[in-house]
Amino acid sequence: MRFYNYNRRRCQKALVLLAFLIFITFSLSIFIEIWLENYLIEAFEDKAKQKIIEVTNQAVLQVLQQQKIKYDDETLISFKMVVFYDENFTTSWVIYPRDLVNFLESKDFKTLNAKELHRWMSLHVDKNSAYGTVCVMSMGIVPRELVTPRNKECVFYKYLFAGGRVVWIGDYPLWVIGSEGGYTETFGDEIAWDILDISGGRLTDYETGVEMTLTTPAKSASITEEGKKWGMNVIDNAHTFFYSMNVTKVFSDVHPLYCCSWLKTYNFNYPNSGFIRYRSTLYDARDNQLNEDVYRLATYKLEKQKEGETK
């Protein structure tokens, strides 16, 4: 009987312990379930909040970018003559650029900011309609988005190769890359060589190699017969110079080997297209004689190009 009671008590204790373990396990599982549920809810809420913030930021950015582009694609691509001017960018070797812009606007040019110009070039490249169009770069700098990436995959080069024409004034071409807010960076003549295949010197005497400044008197450059044919009238000054062997047509030169104003064509299926460098020194846009030169260079045979003439 004693043995029976002893075993009975042991069974009772085991049952109590088992019940306790079951209770603890059940309680722990409920606790883990609640904790895990709360953790997942918090994690989901954090991700949801992050996603909402990302979507909101993208929407705001898109709105801001759209605000900077005043024209729809159909209107933009209809523009044949444009001038780049953006008050959010600084200038280099150009003073009073707004005077040039106003002059060109009076000649039916449309003024585009950096975002609009990038879109304009992209549309003409995509639609194969760049030939017969022209852009005057009025600030002596190039917006970063036009030369990104910094090689021939950028929209700036693609536009030139597609038959577009660019007229550049001010600093050495592509020497200064601009961003909104007036921020700039320079890569010397590296970008001009990588994208435009041109080489030369900036603020250096082409004969002696002596450094100079924009206030240092520079040698005068003679206008060539080709330059006169294109409408160039104002004598140039050689604060920058370029190797004539690297360009297609020389408009002014200081030596048989060195030129100041010129045209380089990148696709000979489109005659007279390409990059025009005008005025190898400081550009003062208050001088309408300079502005007239720019206009004539920008529009030389442009109408005939639009009609399909190749001569």
- pLDDT, tens digit, for every residue of 194-213? 999 999 999 999 989 999 99
Rounded CA-CA distance 163/269 in Å is 8
CB 142 within 8 Å of CB 194:
no
- pLDDT, tens digit, for every residue of 213-256? 999 999 999 999 999 999 999 999 999 999 999 999 999 999 99
If you search the block for the tokens 């582009």, which residue do you land on? 69
Residues 211-216: contacts with CB under 8 Å, at least 24 apart: 212/239, 214/93, 214/239, 214/281, 214/282
Q: What is the DSSP letter of 93?
A: S
Please spell the DSSP secondary structure of 202-218, one letter per residue: ESB-TTT--B--TTS--
Q: Is the pTM above the cut of 0.75?
A: yes
CB 275 within 8 Å of CB 173:
yes
- pLDDT, tens digit, for every residue of 117-175? 999 999 999 999 999 999 999 999 999 999 999 999 999 999 999 999 999 999 999 99
Structure tokens at 208: 């002696």
Rounded CA-CA distance 232/210 in Å is 28
CA angle 77, 144, 53 (to 5 degrees): 90
pLDDT at 51 over 90: no
What SS3 state is found at 100? helix
CB 100 within 8 Å of CB 138:
yes
Rounded CA-CA distance 258/206 in Å is 8
Which region, left, alpha or beta, applies to residue 181 given φ > 0 means left and ψ of -120 to 50 means alpha? left
User: Measuring CA to CA, which residue among 237, 250, 244, 221 is closest to residue 283?
Assistant: 237
